[in-house]
Structure 1
């Protein structure tokens, strides 16, 4: 499983890459801004249900979020070109953060 700091960083990077505020992400997950903040700071981990909601919202796997599988490939079915470009941007930023690019 990923270190908590890696999970926190992934959640924050994904949220920012999608142009969402903590409050907007909280609304999508049916939770509060303070819960999202605590995820991003590593003060707490997402519940099982919120982990699934995060993966669904950001179109990544729970395994990737948790660091079990570093393969970030997701299905691009029904995505627009700009959405696919946004996903590619996320991958590049994560690779930079990990020092692999």
Structure 2
């Protein structure tokens, strides 16, 4: 079976453009990533959380050296990753860190 989404593509909720590829992503623990997107048509930005799929290429981490560097997307990726870490940490019922 072929992977129906080999590059973690997403759709823009503003204009409906399909197969928008992430500009960058940060690992969110051992099993997930937070990916950042910018629609090529309407320039809308957003993030999306994904479970890592073995064999899929993980988008690059956001860096200022990258030709795809976008301050808005990078800020959203870092902010959402921090929110995800805090939510995971605060939701533990056994009190372990």
**TM-score, scaled to structure 1:** 0.33
Q: Which structure shows the bigger proportion of residues in strand conformation?
A: 2
* Larger Cα-atom Rg: 2
Q: Normalization by structure 2: what TM-score?
A: 0.34
Higher helix share: 1
